[in-house]
Structure 1
Amino acid sequence: MRIEQLQAFLAITETGNFGQAAKKCSVTQSTISRQVQGLENTLGVDLFHRSHQAKLTVAGERLLPRARKICQEWAMITQELHDLMAGKQPELCVAAIHSVCSYHLPPILQVFSRQYPHVQLRVTALGSDRALKVLRDGLVDVAIVMNNPAFTTNPEMVTDILFEEPIEVLMAANHPLTQYNQLGWSELASYPHVVFKDGYGMQRLVQDWFSQQNAPIKMAMELNTLDAFRGVIRQGELIALLPHSALVEAQEDPTLAIGRIENHQTQETLTRQVVFATTRDRAEIPPIKAFRQMVQKLSVSDKMSTPLSVY
């Protein structure tokens, strides 16, 4: 059964004969006849009494209200999809990590809102792994997060690397580690850590890094807001490994200090990669495509990976 067959059936019931139905559908009368015959063959019943005036059979009467409903639904979804690809998307849902929501997204959101006033923006701050999961499940349109190849290498995903930034150590201004110019894993392993909760890419990165060094990490506390990190850290010996962009406010706080991480043997630093991710089908929808281009442009012009000054 094809939608054209149902449309032909409705056209005949509305006009009363095959010839007028053909004109209404802008096809030949023989085409209308074939479409109705095909529909009758599929259903196994006659739908019209073949006479001068096309009159519905009992089966045709039963089909009529359902055919109208099906064609109405088809017209609605056809229009909705046309509007979608024409850029008439009612909303755009963004999941992003906290530092991106705080410092990098606001100017993009303002520009996007001016260019697409009919699209309602919905922005949610989530941990990287959680954000990528809800993107995969279709609950958001895009994610701006710390890269996790377990999700982003999926062939259904489109991923842009936005920037790479160093991971640094947040500590109290009077912490013993402030005496070091660079901090290696042996110094970091000596103190208890505050880490992001499960579902945040930073927890995964920190745990993986300590595991690679064969050093146990002393996880004393799990938090999920930068304000909470700063409040706890300034109280004593706890430290936290956080990305550069999460330490903007800490840099101006005299009760806090920021230290650089460096492997004393290899001179390597610990970094994280921030990416824009969406699905391939969403990437072609005009508002999402425009939003992606805005994010790409800002990532090129914004010096987001310039190291902060340290103690």
Structure 2
Amino acid sequence: MAVTLQQLLYFVAVADVRSFTRAADVSGVAQPTLSRALRTLETELGAPLFDRGATVTLTPAGEAVLPLARRMLADADTARSTVAEIAGVRRGRVRIGATPSLCIGVLADVLRVFHQQHPGIHVELTEAGSQPLVDGLVRGSLDIALVIVPPDGVDPALHTAPLLRERLSVASPSSRRPLATRGSITVGELARHHLVMPARGYDLREVTLRAYAAAGVEPRIAVEGAQMDAVLRLVEAGTGMAVVPDLVFAGRPRLRRTVLNPALYRTVAVARRTDIAPPPAVIAFADTLVGHLADDPVQSAGDVQVLHRRRTGRELLG
């Protein structure tokens, strides 16, 4: 794995403040994310860059790398500014769609970085189920969307590129006893519990209903029609269980994750219309998205696999 600019940004931040915690705050990331990136950087360079004592200090290797890192970051900023002027991404608009779980688990951090890199671009975010997002792309009300690939494929009018493969698990309140002592649960066993069901149009609803039908059981629905954040809050409150993607468990200690057996997976894809060339602002967003997943591949979020990690945004969009 090659050295990335994000790793160098984290390295310079720690070198400036001499604290991993403060550097993470300055960088706007969780400390485990920053520490993991720096460990990867040290492995790639073949030497430790910090003495991690009571006070963080640079090693001789760190002292040697620091001015080089500063120069590389400065050169990257110059290159970005120059290309932005040419490509026209200092101004403009990008209309992005994503499912609620992806807004929670991926897009929040991506859009923060994108806004920092391109503050002049106006972002319009639509949060909806995959089918409404596909409809929005076809109608032209969205430029790009993160959608769930259904069993019968996506509309042929759209170009899609797989981005993530994520597992679906059962969410239950951590305040209650575990659903299964062996660490996994079947759909038949889950059918004994009440469910919180997302609104119509969300793939999670359809996936859950198909899994129940395949197991030959009927769901016991306590509440239906909720958006993702409401689903999670209802589960935390003990209203019922829910089948949700592993991405949403990060940062929610009041939720317990139980794996389904057999496991359920879904594929997340980036989609756009095939008959319209992506404008520079859309390509810039795709670059930020790919770069974020390459540097922080949501390793702490359960079983989530990043697909095509080494592609550029332009390559991803076809």
The code of the aligned residue for 2:126 comes to T
Identify if the C-alpha distance between structure 1 residues 262 and 141 changes in structure 2 by more than 3 Å, giving closer, same or farther: same
SS of alignment partner, residue 129 of structure 1:
helix
- Native 8 Å contact 1:175 1:237 kept in 2: no
Give the whole-Å Cα distance in 1 for the aligned partners of 2:241 and 2:187: 13
Shift of 1:243: 0.6
Map 1:144-155 to 2 at 5 A.
Answer: 144-148=146-150, 150=152, 152-154=154-156
Shift of 1:153: 4.8
- Native 8 Å contact 2:89 2:284 kept in 1: no
Uncovered stretches (5+) of structure 1, i.e. residues with no partner: 1-84, 264-268
2:279 to 262, 282, 285: 285
SS of alignment partner, residue 262 of structure 1:
strand
- Native 8 Å contact 1:175 1:236 kept in 2: no
Give the whole-Å Cα distance in 2 for the aligned partners of 1:126 and 1:180: 35
Identify if the C-alpha distance between structure 1 residues 160 and 297 changes in structure 2 by more than 3 Å, giving closer, same or farther: farther
- Native 8 Å contact 2:134 2:155 kept in 1: no
Residue of structure 2 equivalent to 1:169? 170
- Native 8 Å contact 2:92 2:281 kept in 1: no
The code of the aligned residue for 1:112 comes to F
Give the whole-Å Cα distance in 2 for the aligned partners of 1:112 and 1:303: 17
Residue of structure 2 equivalent to 1:239? 241
Q: Relative to structure 2, which stretch is displaced further, 179-188 or 112-121?
A: 112-121
Identify if the C-alpha distance between structure 1 residues 120 and 210 changes in structure 2 by more than 3 Å, giving closer, same or farther: same
Identify if the C-alpha distance between structure 1 residues 98 and 273 changes in structure 2 by more than 3 Å, giving closer, same or farther: same
Give the whole-Å Cα distance in 2 for the aligned partners of 1:121 and 1:194: 32
1:275 to 269, 275, 281: 269
Deviation readout 1:254-275 (Å, 9 max, x if unpaired) = xx42211112xxxxx1112111
SS of alignment partner, residue 249 of structure 1:
coil
Identify if the C-alpha distance between structure 1 residues 176 and 192 changes in structure 2 by more than 3 Å, giving closer, same or farther: same
The code of the aligned residue for 2:278 comes to E
1:224 to 219, 223, 226: 226
After TM superposition, the score normalised by the length of structure 2 is: 0.60
- Native 8 Å contact 1:171 1:237 kept in 2: no
Residue of structure 2 equivalent to 1:130? 132
Uncovered stretches (5+) of structure 2, i.e. residues with no partner: 1-86, 304-318
The code of the aligned residue for 2:287 comes to Q
Residue of structure 1 equivalent to 2:296? 302
The code of the aligned residue for 2:216 comes to N
Map 1:83-94 to 2 at 5 A.
Answer: 90-94=92-96
- Native 8 Å contact 1:181 1:259 kept in 2: yes
The code of the aligned residue for 1:299 comes to L
Shift of 1:219: 2.4
Identify if the C-alpha distance between structure 1 residues 187 and 169 changes in structure 2 by more than 3 Å, giving closer, same or farther: same
Identify if the C-alpha distance between structure 1 residues 220 and 244 changes in structure 2 by more than 3 Å, giving closer, same or farther: same
Map 1:100-115 to 2 at 5 A.
Answer: 100-115=102-117
Deviation readout 1:107-151 (Å, 9 max, x if unpaired) = 332343344444211112212222122112111111112223556
- Native 8 Å contact 1:91 1:119 kept in 2: yes
Give the whole-Å Cα distance in 2 for the aligned partners of 1:138 and 1:89: 20
Map 1:42-81 to 2 at 5 A.
Answer: none
Identify if the C-alpha distance between structure 1 residues 258 and 111 changes in structure 2 by more than 3 Å, giving closer, same or farther: closer
Shift of 1:305: 5.7
Identify if the C-alpha distance between structure 1 residues 227 and 307 changes in structure 2 by more than 3 Å, giving closer, same or farther: closer
The code of the aligned residue for 1:165 comes to E
Runs of 4+ in 1 over 6 A off after TM superposition: none
- CA RMSD, Structure 1 to Structure 2 (Å): 2.9
After TM superposition, the score normalised by the length of structure 1 is: 0.61
The code of the aligned residue for 1:162 comes to L
Identify if the C-alpha distance between structure 1 residues 306 and 262 changes in structure 2 by more than 3 Å, giving closer, same or farther: farther
In terms of Rg, which structure is larger?
Answer: 1
The code of the aligned residue for 2:256 comes to A
1:200 to 199, 202, 224: 202
1:139 to 137, 141, 144: 141
SS of alignment partner, residue 295 of structure 1:
helix
Residue of structure 1 equivalent to 2:188? 186
Give the whole-Å Cα distance in 1 for the aligned partners of 2:119 and 2:276: 19
- Native 8 Å contact 1:244 1:305 kept in 2: no
The code of the aligned residue for 1:120 comes to H
Map 1:23-34 to 2 at 5 A.
Answer: none
Give the whole-Å Cα distance in 1 for the aligned partners of 2:275 and 2:283: 11
Identify if the C-alpha distance between structure 1 residues 305 and 128 changes in structure 2 by more than 3 Å, giving closer, same or farther: farther
